[in-house]
Structure 1
């Protein structure tokens, strides 16, 4: 991890000791709960591990608490969807009387908490996803693929939002980053079920159509992923745009379209690059949303993805 000027990184030895802290998972979920409410309950009662690099970054920031601020920490930590989820969950739990977390972004959440209370809440040792799945090679590869794709989609979404001069570009970036959390949580908490969904190392499901993928998900999980995604976002009182992007009734809104198109573009281009023939339709829709020609939209997207 790159540490900002003026910060003193921890020694390699201390990071290694922190990374091997005994924070291993409870027994994985082996049988799918029968409905969406029981899925929400099962996932809500289990700890969410963080990416290894996030835990290392937190160690460094904790040792230099007086030299860091919310913006610096958000730049480093805000690309880990698992960390963002835990942070927003924590803020929402502190404000149970509010309909939402009152923090739309990582920076806002850190400012709301304060740096010292944040470090108290995220004290060491923290569970590490790579160790959590050390005996689950396929689930680990799928999680890595999902995180990488979410980060790509979030970059595309941010660039598209800036092109649209949307003042909520950062919120759109975060909603896109968190959209595929159900799949990530399945890899972490129910790896055998995730394997049945045939997620490959790119976090995608092969060449099946969207309808075939949806049918498989319902067969394995007893619920659809969109229904689970919306139920989790509502139960955890995640930011409004993320909830909206999970609701099919709001798919016409420009910000929601921004999120969905970025996700679709990232998924298809991760399979066969930007020459994938299935990209023609979402590229045309993106060009229309951005007020660009198809070639201009493709140039913008490939620049954002470079």
Structure 2
């Protein structure tokens, strides 16, 4: 049984962070929990595609389903299930509802901390926009792995989401450092407060949960020339830079790189981005 976790000070090593987060309960959006209960009541009318589509807008529920499917797959020596819908097909609808009972919600876990709830909702909204941009880029490139690229962008910052859930005071410290110095790199602020970088924690958790290799690789930033990784990187970058509007100083560089990736003029690329958004 996963336990509720509330950290107020940094842990001693990356391994300690991985162990703490891997064993902790992951709450989901209240609307996801409500939709699941509604679908549970009409289980005979539910199909994997509709259920998968509903879950795919919630990064933390997506994470839970993919991690659970990886556990099942290991026992059955089956190929990777790289999307939520494929994971649900592997499980079956009835076993899915049996394994995923009523879900704890982010709103109940962080209900006493409005600042943390706001910080978390900003990261989740950014992830949802990044996943939309990434899916648009992949579809434009006719990439057969478009659904996986969508998942990779949605999950790109899941370690930051988990930090807001399990260690909101530390997440707020990082946010305060960056608010005080807009030029401070997030990795520097993370090392200062946590002693680790969240990207390293994320990759270690993906390995611990044995998430699909392709998903782990696309979420990594090791090979920036790979067009699939580039789709995710640029989508995440653009979502970050446009979180408060399209006038951020980083947007022109993003636009140049996206136009290059999609083989379009910058004017055409900008029109496409507004369509995606």
What is the TM-score when the length of structure 1 is the normalising length?
Answer: 0.85
Return the alpha-carbon distance in structure 2 between the equivalents of residues 158 and 218 of structure 1: 31
> Aligned to 2:222, what secondary structure does the other structure show?
helix
How far did 1:26 drift? 3.0
Q: 2-side partners of 1:98 and 1:32: how far apart?
A: 38
Shift of 1:158: 0.4
Determine which of 171, 182, 187 is the counterpart of 1:208. Answer: 182
Given the superposition, is the C-alpha separation of residues 35 and 99 from structure 1 closer, same or farther in structure 2, using an over 3 Å criterion?
Answer: farther
Q: Does 1:32 align with 2:10?
A: yes
The answer on 1:281 being equivalent to 2:258 is no
1:66 aligns with 2:24: no
SS in 2 for 1:249: coil
Aligned length: 276
Alignment of 1:237 onto 2:198:
no
Residue 94 of structure 1: how far off its partner (Å): 1.8
User: Which sits farther off after the overlay, 87-96 or 236-245?
Assistant: 236-245
Query: Does the residue aligned with 2:246 lie in a helix, a strand or coil?
Result: helix
C-alpha distance in 2 between matches for 1:296 and 1:264: 19
| Of 42-51 and 228-237, the range deviating more from structure 2 | 228-237
Matches within 5 A, 1:13-92: 26-92=4-70
Structure 1 stretches of at least 4 aligned residues deviating more than 6 Å after TM superposition: 98-101
CA–CA distance in structure 2, aligned partners of residues 27 and 178 of structure 1 = 21
State whether residues 100 and 238 of structure 1, in contact with CA within 8 Å, keep that contact through their aligned partners in structure 2: no
Task: For residue 192 of structure 1, report the CA deviation from its aligned partner.
Answer: 0.6
Superposed CA RMSD in Å reads: 2.1
Contact 2:18 2:201 survives alignment (8 Å): yes
Which string of whole-angstrom CA distances, capped at 9 and with x for unpartnered residues, describes residues 17-38 of structure 1? Answer: xxxxxxxx73511121121111
Matched, 1:130 2:107: yes
- In the alignment, the residues of structure 1 paired with residue 5 and residue 214 of structure 2 have an alpha-carbon distance, to the nearest angstrom, of 33
Distance across 1 between alignment mates of 2:138 and 2:181: 29
Q: Secondary structure at the match of 1:102?
A: coil
1:246-276 Cα distance to aligned partner (Å, 9 max, x none): 43322221000000000000000113x2232
**Cα distance in 2 for residues equivalent to 1:247 and 1:40:** 17
Structure 2 residue matching 1:270: 3-state secondary structure: coil
1:146-184 Cα deviation digits (max 9, x unpaired): 111100110011011111111111110011000100110
Match of 1:255 in 2: 228
> Which residue in 1 is equivalent to 2:273?
301
- Counterpart of 1:3 in structure 2 is none
Task: For 1:169 and 1:27, locate their aligned partners in 2 and report how far apart those are by CA, in whole Å.
Answer: 34
Partner in structure 2 of residue 167 of structure 1: 144
| 1:138 positional shift | 1.0
Tell me, what secondary structure is at the counterpart of 1:248? coil
Deviation for aligned residue 1:100? 9.0
Unaligned runs of 5+ in 1: 1-24
Indicate if the aligned counterparts of 2:30 and 2:105 stay in contact, CA closer than 8 A: yes
Q: Answer with 258-267 or 99-108: which moved more.
A: 99-108
Structure 2: distance between partners of 1:37 and 1:100: 28
Q: Secondary structure at the match of 2:185?
A: helix
Residue 129 of structure 2 corresponds to residue 152 of structure 1? yes
